[in-house]
Amino acid sequence: MADVQTKGRGRGGNRWESPSGGLWFSILLRPNLPSRRLLLLQFLAATAMRDAIGNKTGLDVMLKWPNDLVLGNAKLGGILIESKTQGERVSFAILGIGLNVNQGKAQLPPGAISMRLVSGKKQHDLRVLLRAILDQIRSSFDNLSHPSKIMDEWWRSSIHRSLRVQVTLPKDTVTGISRAIDEDGSLLIETDDHRIRRVNEGSLRILND
Ligand code: ATP
């Protein structure tokens, strides 16, 4: 757990702003998991964080594919997973978690929100939150052997369930209705010609039309 990070990262080397006031921590896990199921950890952790924050504060955090926690339309936090695999198995995984908690508006990048700004409470106790999140992750850990349960729970709290979205990929964009996620963590999008496109990378935006 860090008070401040000077080189916090998001996906693909994006910068993750981590000034004091947020919860910045990593968890080392040694799950018994085939490497193709690695992303289950990311989705499990997202739902666990939503539940823990909801229990402690009453805030209704929603989830955005692939790795964001949001409040309203703004980004509250993110989860980054890095791992080492051996053969077909995961030998260890590191979940890096960032959550905007006590920062004021001036300490947040555009499009971000903190728990303080939404709840009006100036100081949430970071250790109490950390404890609640760790307990929730621990108690849902057994679900790793039930991938569909993890994904169903995540999907139920997704902010773009059955909404029209656009996913920007490195060389392409996919537009359509976001229909489901599969057990590998891919998002299934029904395009305007009623075909299902499976996307496993990219950045998602909800369309308002
Ligand atoms: P997006 O969620 O916008 O599609 P992404 O998922 O690719 O982007 P990540 O790599 O998960 O984003 O996170 C990095 C991005 O998040 C940065 O490029 C910046 O726009 C934004 N960001 C950086 N720091 C924070 C923060 N503390 N809170 C919220 N958003 C942040």
205 CB within 6 A, ligand 1: no
Same domain, 194 and 95: no
- Which residues are bridge partners to 90 per DSSP? 85
Q: What is the DSSP string of the chain?
A: -BS-BSS-B-GGG-B--B-TTSEEEEEEE----BGGGTTHHHHHHHHHHHHHHHHHH----EEETTTEEEETTEEEEEEEEEEEEETTEEEEEEEEEEE--S--GGGS-TTB--HHHHH--S---HHHHHHHHHHHHHHHGGGGG-HHHHHHHHHHTBTTTT-EEEEEETTEEEEEEEEEE-TTSPEEEEETTSPEEEE-SSEEEE---
> What is the residue with the minimal CA distance to atom 21 of ligand 1?
16
Q: What is the pLDDT of residue 118?
A: 97
Same domain, 200 and 121: no
Q: Extract the residue ranges of the chain whose pLDDT is less than 70.
A: 209
CB 130 within 8 A of CB 23: yes
Q: What is the CATH number of the domain that holds 188?
A: 2.30.30.100
14 CB within 6 A, ligand 1: yes
Number of domains composing the chain:
2
Question: Could you read off the pLDDT of 106-163 as tens digits, one per residue?
Answer: 999 999 999 999 999 999 999 999 999 999 999 999 999 999 999 999 999 999 999 9
Q: What is the pLDDT of residue 209?
A: 63
Q: What is the CATH number of the domain that holds 117?
A: 3.30.930.10
Same domain, 181 and 152: no
Q: What is the pLDDT of residue 23?
A: 98
Q: What is the pLDDT of residue 92?
A: 98
> What is the residue with the minimal CA distance to atom 14 of ligand 1?
10
Same domain, 92 and 133: yes
> What's the pTM?
0.96
> What is the residue with the minimal CA distance to atom 13 of ligand 1?
10
Choose one of 138, 156, 174: the last residue of a domain. 156
Q: What is the pLDDT of residue 208?
A: 83
Domain holding 119, by residue range, is 5-156
78 CB within 6 A, ligand 1: yes
Q: What is the pLDDT of residue 119?
A: 96
Q: Distance, CA 193 to ligand 1 centroid (Å)?
A: 31
10 CB within 6 A, ligand 1: yes
State the residue for tokens 């108690």. 139
16 CB within 6 A, ligand 1: yes
Q: Which atom of ligand 1 is least distant from the CA of 22?
A: 27
109 CB within 6 A, ligand 1: yes
